[in-house]
Amino acid sequence: MAATDIARQVGEGCRTLPLAGHVGFDSLPDQLVNKSVGQGFCFNILCVGETGLGKSTLMDTLFNTKFEGEPATHTQPGVQLRSNTYDLQESNVGLKLTIVSTVGFGDQINKEDSYKPIVEFIDAQFEAYLQEELKIRRVLHTYHDSRIHACLYFIAPTGHSLKSLDLVTMKKLDSKVNIIPIIGKSDTISKSELTKFKIKITSELVSNGVQIYQFPTDDESVAEINGTMNAHLPFAVIGSTEEVKIGNKMMKARQYPWGTVQVENEAHCDFVKLREMLIRVNMEDLREQTHTRHYELYRRCKLEEMGFKDTDPDNKPFSLQETYEAKRNEFLGELQKKEEEMRQMFVQRVKEKEAELKEAEKELHEKFDRLKKLHQDEKKKLEDKKKSLDDEIHAFKQRKTAAELLQAQGPQAGGTQTLKRDKEKKNFF
């Protein structure tokens, strides 16, 4: 019997029984709290927005500390993500906080691909967690979860409408992370303009199908406050780490020539609402939504790409082992097919190479025959020329010998004639 059938029968046959006395499992929530406090918590925030909207200052103000970080410039060639992790302690609760900032976002002339590094970073964290889950020996209880739990999307306080970059980026991110839109440096526009700006932003998000994070209203203890705060989105915030004495109290504020803006005064901005919703009320829900919604969507799509499914073509339950075996057989079949194709390709290549070599050999033989014939012709010409030279040399030697004989005979003939002339002279006288 399949495990799913057994589980279904157990669920259907479950009965409710009364207890005759105290057992003690009502302490499970306390045990869970103690265990969680001992292990500590982690929370990861992604701050997306153009340079100069007060992202770093707001983080310092939210957690009432000073985080390390270098001020970003407007000369970045592309969007870079910087991740910094800090260990925070409040009372007996430890929090491992990771803040990821998008350096250079919106500073380029061509902003078409500005969202891609952000999407790739979020997917990389999901992939790392998935790989840890798929290991044979998992250590998820000690694994540092780097998945993004909340994305604070900073909107420039233009007072008009959302930029195309904001709409495109939020549309690409809404299925991967919990987006909380906030208006940075909201003290730069008036209250009436701010109200209209919020309405304009909300209508544009709805008309473009951008799904932002909605504070949960299914829990009765927080349903009322969350329902009220959903109506205040996007939050208009101001950040400041400077403390100013107002009355008898030191308060975080920003001083201007015309007056002072108090960060924690709800009449001045929505900072308190953001802190309440993000940290004090819905931090655990953001973590849960990241795991049960966004990560599960990534995990399902990734496993489906790998060929794993819950049901077979007949819509019957399909176990992971059966899926693995089917995928393995499919892979082996494809491997054999590719191996056969490679073998045939290799044989074809060998035949083509043999034909090329035979053709080259034939050409070499023809070239050798031509060179051999040319060599013979040259050799015959040289031999004829040599014979001709030998004949010339022989004729020259004969002429030379004849000339030498003539030269040798010449003096003897001259001496005889002289004696004859002398004898004739003597007879005359």
Instruction: Tally DSSP H helices, then E strands, for the chain.
Output: 11, 9
Determine, yes or no, domain membership for 14: no
The tokens for 267 are 């009449």
pLDDT, position 324: 72
Determine, yes or no, domain membership for 139: yes
Determine, yes or no, domain membership for 19: no
- Please say whether the beta carbons of 40 and 94 come within 8 A: yes
Q: Verify that 267 and 359 share a domain, yes or no.
A: no
pLDDT, position 3: 47
The tokens for 65 are 């500390």
Strands 243-246 and 93-103, bridge-based pairing: unpaired
The tokens for 80 are 């870079």
At 88 the three-state DSSP class reads strand
Q: Verify that 358 and 217 share a domain, yes or no.
A: no
Q: How far apart are the first and last CA of the chain?
A: 172
The tokens for 139 are 């250590």
Buried b / exposed e along 163-175 (16+ C-beta atoms within 10 A): eebbbbbbbebbe
Q: What is the 3-state secondary structure (H, E, C) of 205-219?
A: HHHCCCCCCCCCCCC
Q: Verify that 273 and 363 share a domain, yes or no.
A: no
The tokens for 405 are 């004989």
The tokens for 328 are 């393995």
pLDDT, position 11: 54
Domain boundary pick from 243, 271, 306:
306
Determine, yes or no, domain membership for 132: yes
Q: Verify that 282 and 339 share a domain, yes or no.
A: no
pLDDT, position 422: 64
Determine, yes or no, domain membership for 150: yes
Q: Verify that 299 and 371 share a domain, yes or no.
A: no
pLDDT, position 311: 67
- Please say whether the beta carbons of 144 and 42 come within 8 A: yes
Residue 191: partners with Cβ closer than 8 Å, 6 or more residues away: none
pLDDT, position 182: 94
Q: What is the pLDDT of residues 93-148, one digit of tens each?
A: 999 999 999 998 988 888 888 999 999 999 999 999 999 988 888 888 888 899 99
What are the φ/ψ torsions at residue 97 (nearest 5 degrees)?
A: -100, 130
Domain boundary pick from 372, 387, 402:
387
The tokens for 128 are 């790392």
The tokens for 300 are 């399902």
Q: What is the Cα–Cα distance from 364 to 369, expressed in whole angstroms?
A: 9
Q: Verify that 180 and 211 share a domain, yes or no.
A: yes
Residue 183 lies in domain: 38-306
Residue 295: partners with Cβ closer than 8 Å, 6 or more residues away: 126, 129, 147
Q: What is the Cα–Cα distance from 106 to 10, expressed in whole angstroms?
A: 56
Residues in the chain where the model's pLDDT stays below 70: 1-13, 74, 310-320, 411-429
Determine, yes or no, domain membership for 98: yes
Q: Could you tell me the CATH number of the domain that includes residue 94?
A: 3.40.50.300
Q: Verify that 281 and 214 share a domain, yes or no.
A: yes
Q: Verify that 242 and 364 share a domain, yes or no.
A: no
pLDDT, position 1: 42
pLDDT, position 288: 95
Q: What is the pLDDT of residues 198-212, one digit of tens each?
A: 999 999 999 999 999
- Please say whether the beta carbons of 61 and 263 come within 8 A: yes
pLDDT, position 149: 96
Edge to edge, the sheet with strand 41-48 lists 80-90, 93-103, 41-48, 150-155, 179-183, 235-236
- What 289-297 contacts at long range (C-beta under 8 Å, 24+ apart), as own/partner pairs, is 289/178, 289/213, 290/147, 290/148, 290/149, 290/177, 290/178, 291/147, 294/126, 294/147, 294/175, 294/176, 294/177, 294/178, 295/126, 295/129, 295/147, 297/175
Element (DSSP H or E) covering residue 203:
helix 191-207
Q: What is the Cα–Cα distance from 72 to 83, expressed in whole angstroms?
A: 14
Q: Verify that 195 and 335 share a domain, yes or no.
A: no
- Kindly list the distances between the CA atom of residue 124 and the CA atoms of 115, 129, 148, 284, in Å, as whole numbers in the listed order: 14, 9, 11, 22
Determine, yes or no, domain membership for 54: yes
Q: How many separate domains does the chain show?
A: 2
User: Cβ of 187: how many Cβ atoms within 10 Å?
Assistant: 17
Sign of the CA dihedral 271, 285, 195, 228? negative
Q: Verify that 266 and 354 share a domain, yes or no.
A: no
The tokens for 229 are 């705060």
Q: Verify that 372 and 247 share a domain, yes or no.
A: no
Burial of 4 (0-12, 13-18, 19+ CB in 10 A): exposed
Q: At what angle do helices 164-173 and 116-133 cross, to 10 degrees?
A: 10
The tokens for 280 are 């004090």
Determine, yes or no, domain membership for 94: yes
Q: Verify that 265 and 337 share a domain, yes or no.
A: no
pTM: 0.73
What are the φ/ψ torsions at residue 336 (nearest 5 degrees)?
A: -65, -40
